[in-house]
A = this chain, B = another copy of it.
Amino acid sequence: MIEQFKGKTALITGGMGFIGSNLAIKLAELGAKVTILDAMIPDYGGNVYNVTESDRIRINFCDIRDQQAVNWLVRDQDFVFHLAGQVCHLMSLSNPFPDIEMNITGTAIVMEALRKHNPKAILVNAGTRGQYGPAVSFPVNEEAPTNPKGIYEISNLTAEKIIKVYNDVHGIRSVNLRLSNLYGPRSQMMHSRFGVFNWFIRLAMDDETIQLFGDGSILRDFVYVDDCIDAILRVATTPECYGEIFNVGSDKPITFRELCDTIVRVAKSGRWEFAEFSAERKAQEPGDFYSDISKIERFTGWRPTTELEDGIKKTIDYYSTCRDHYWTKPEKTATAKTAEKLTTATKR
């Protein structure tokens, strides 16, 4: 892999975020010159602590919708890793426009920039397994129907189709990935809206109680972020992958109950309990999901190699050294809790 990226240039949109920052660090290790584009929108995934600028990594703050800046930044890049976007699948229920603007228009801006200013670049796009919508059979392969139940998922599916058209019609080589639920270091830990795995880790580390919605039997295929980075780098450097769509998941699905048990066991703190689905979450919950990952293995030899316990341990180790950069347990929370307890006591 070192030979493939040494001296190469790469633009990472959304590079201050979870996947983008891990990718930037890995690419720099492999000898690439990385440019990060990130809008640092509050409450999104970007965190300045995730990546440090260096002679290998340059950070350019701007929005993916900034057409002139994107036109400029794509020039002379060997690779473009397109990770910027609105990634909360609940927001679109009350406001569909950020998804459309960032995920659809933003993607079109990147593709037009490549068509006009750097048609030889290779683009890898991070889509989501949410694009499938409710699974009709398992494991879900790339030919499965795509009937997503939310604007967020629709916007990702549209981005994928736009990228495919630029591949087929304009010759901009690209690979579209559909990522399952990821976890690991450098994910934002302020809220649970981008995925619950890392949120559960935070709760366990803080010795809090994890609320497990439903009966905990829903199956998911979780992927440790380093495995995902490996998949991204492999498809980027395998010409047979250009123009293709690949699932990036795990063929060892586990239940949320198993997940919580493992997190609490590895963290040696926290606990979990069952909780009722909120109506909002229930409406968006697509049920069991696990990917058929035989296609990407066939094309690139990729398989996830991180065992669940190891991944959780690495994640906890990371945040243990730098928790304050990702979340705090401010005094007022403790105060609020005390107040709540007093109120409850009074009510009794």
Interface residues in chain A, defined as those with a beta carbon under 8 Å from any beta carbon in chain B: 93, 96-97, 100-101, 104-105, 108, 111-112, 147-151, 154-155, 157-158, 161-162, 165, 168-169, 283-284
Contacts and interface: CB of A to CB of B under 8 A. Distances in A.
29 contacts: A96-B108, A96-B111, A96-B112, A96-B162, A97-B108, A100-B104, A100-B105, A100-B108, A101-B105, A104-B104, A105-B105, A148-B161, A148-B165, A149-B165, A149-B168, A149-B169, A150-B165, A150-B169, A151-B162, A151-B165, A154-B158, A154-B161, A154-B162, A154-B165, A155-B158, A157-B158, A157-B161, A169-B283, A169-B284
Contacts of A149: 165, 168-169
A277 to B, nearest CB: 15
A100 B112 CA distance: 13
Contacts of A151: 108, 162, 165
A138 B156 CA distance: 29
Contacts of A150: 165, 169
Nearest to A146: B146
Contacts of A147: 161
A143 to B, nearest CB: 8
Given A154-B165, A165-B151, A105 B97 contact: yes
Contacts of A101: 105
Contacts of A157: 158, 161
Given A97-B105, A148-B165, A155-B158, 11 more contacts: A96-B108, A96-B112, A101-B105, A104-B158, A149-B165, A150-B169, A154-B158, A154-B161, A154-B165, A158-B158, A169-B283
Nearest to A148: B161
Contacts of A96: 108, 111-112, 162
A269 B101 CA distance: 50
A145 to B, nearest CB: 8
A209 to B, nearest CB: 30
Nearest to A96: B108
A149 B155 CA distance: 17
Contacts of A169: 93, 149-150, 283-284
A328 B283 CA distance: 55
A20 B288 CA distance: 43
A108 B158 CA distance: 14
Nearest to A101: B105
Which one of A101, A104, A155, A168 has the greatest number of beta carbons of chain B within 10 Å?
A104
A284 to B, nearest CB: 8
A161 B100 CA distance: 13
A101 B108 CA distance: 11
A163 to B, nearest CB: 10
Nearest to A155: B158
Nearest to A97: B108
Contacts of A112: 96
A256 to B, nearest CB: 23
Nearest to A158: B158
